[in-house]
Amino acid sequence: MLFIYNLLTVIAGWHLKLIALFIPKIKLFVEGRKVVFDTLSQKIAASDKVIWFHAASLGEYEQGLPVMQKVKAMYPGHKIVVSFFSPSGYEVRKNTKDADVVVYLPLDTLANAKKFVALAHPELVFFIKYEFWPNYLNELRKHNTPTYLISGMFREKQAFFKWYGGFYRDALKAFTHFFVQYESSKKLLQTIGFTNATISGDTRYDRVSEILERDNNLPFIEEFIDGKITVVFGSSWPKDETMFTDYINSSTGTKFIIAPHTFAHVPALQQSITKPAVLFTEKEGKNLADYDVLIINTVGLLTKIYSYADVAYVGGGFGTAGLHNILEPAAFEVPVIIGPNHQKFPEAVALVNMGGCISVKNKQEMEDALSLLTHNDDQRWETGHIAGTFVSMNRGAVGIIINHIANETGV
């Protein structure tokens, strides 16, 4: 099976090069990987001590960041290498100050794995949540490199737990320890013989709690809000937007901030809104208080913007791309609304069950939820308070992970 996997990986690499000619995101994926080994050669010397963190994309990076920062403090003489699989992670964080080297992870071929591990020569490795690449893991195991999974999640449908997943199960032997989010993941690992697992919880709760301590002031948002109830639609997709634009158009006395996940559909979004609306990139010289809708067509501001929200809708729940981060608005004690497709996100299921988040199935339910939370002060406060308490009570994963590693490595 490993032979077939390796063959398919090579074939996939060829196909991606062809697809890259037509799809810009895939082009970034392919072109970015061409310079990985040169980057590692230039920035990592044979004498350097290295710690490697791998994240699939931006969400996993943010999830692992509080651990990375603690590890960096524990090992101040080491260089931190961060690898991404997805352009959406690499392109946003390629210049982060929390790492010394940021690269794409080359496709999981035998040759790539050997060369990457040889050039990076890490002393410690952290994989975040998932992304189990057999050749990389097998290479780390050959080098006896301490390797950890943080905020891990396992499901029965994964190949590890199937009759054909033997080579995947063997790859898991590379992990020194698994830090998993839930009891169910620990039990699944036990069924295939792995007992080196600790239920640490999800590091994202620690990460989003840290944002409360930052300077989240955005004067232009304060000018726009002008003291009025404000709804923030974060990381919205076109399917999300069809559910709430009519509500915006029919509302009075409420301010709306929309931060789309991508900007290609912003012109169509603008056309669908009849209220006075302004783009972030066109705000200069305007009296923002005169507008009812502010569209954020830039990146990096959404977390701070949530701190100004009275109500937040988090996108992704009406499509198949996946629900975006509900914990950021929840950390600010903001009541959250989401779409129906959230069952694969345990934090969303739990928060809905607790009453800190409202799941809506259609346009009418969306409008009812927005109306309830914008017009009923008590309901808005209670829902938001539950959301904030939910985040607070689930903190602590980073401490569990760092304490274990400190005891294991003697740092």
Cα 27 to Cα 17: distance, rounded to the nearest angstrom = 8
Q: Is 166 exposed, middle or buried (CB count within 10 Å of its CB: 0-12, 13-18, 19+)?
A: middle
- 232 neighbors 259 (Cβ within 8 angstroms): yes
Q: Which helix (H) or strand (E) holds 256?
A: strand 255-260
- Sheet strands (E) in 23-117: 50-55, 79-84, 101-104
> What does the alpha-carbon distance between residue 104 and residue 124 come to, in Å, rounded to a whole number?
18
Residue 169: in which H helix or E strand, if any?
Answer: helix 166-171
Distance CA 193, CA 222 (A): 55
Q: Are strands 255-260 and 197-199 parallel, antiparallel or unpaired?
A: unpaired
Q: Report how far apart, in Å, the C-alpha atoms of 262 and of each of 277, 297, 308 are.
A: 18, 8, 22
> Residue with structure tokens 């969400």?
59
d(CA 351, CA 345): 10
Contact 265, 238 (CB under 8 A): yes
Handedness of CA 358, 359, 361, 366 (dihedral sign): positive
CB 180 within 8 A of CB 128: no
Residues 6 or more apart in contact with residue 97 via CB below 8 angstroms: none
Residues with catalytic function:
60
Pairing outcome for strands 311-314 and 336-338: parallel
Across the beta sheet with 277-279, the strand order is 277-279, 293-295, 255-260, 230-236, 311-314, 336-338, 357-359
Radius of gyration of the chain (CA): 23
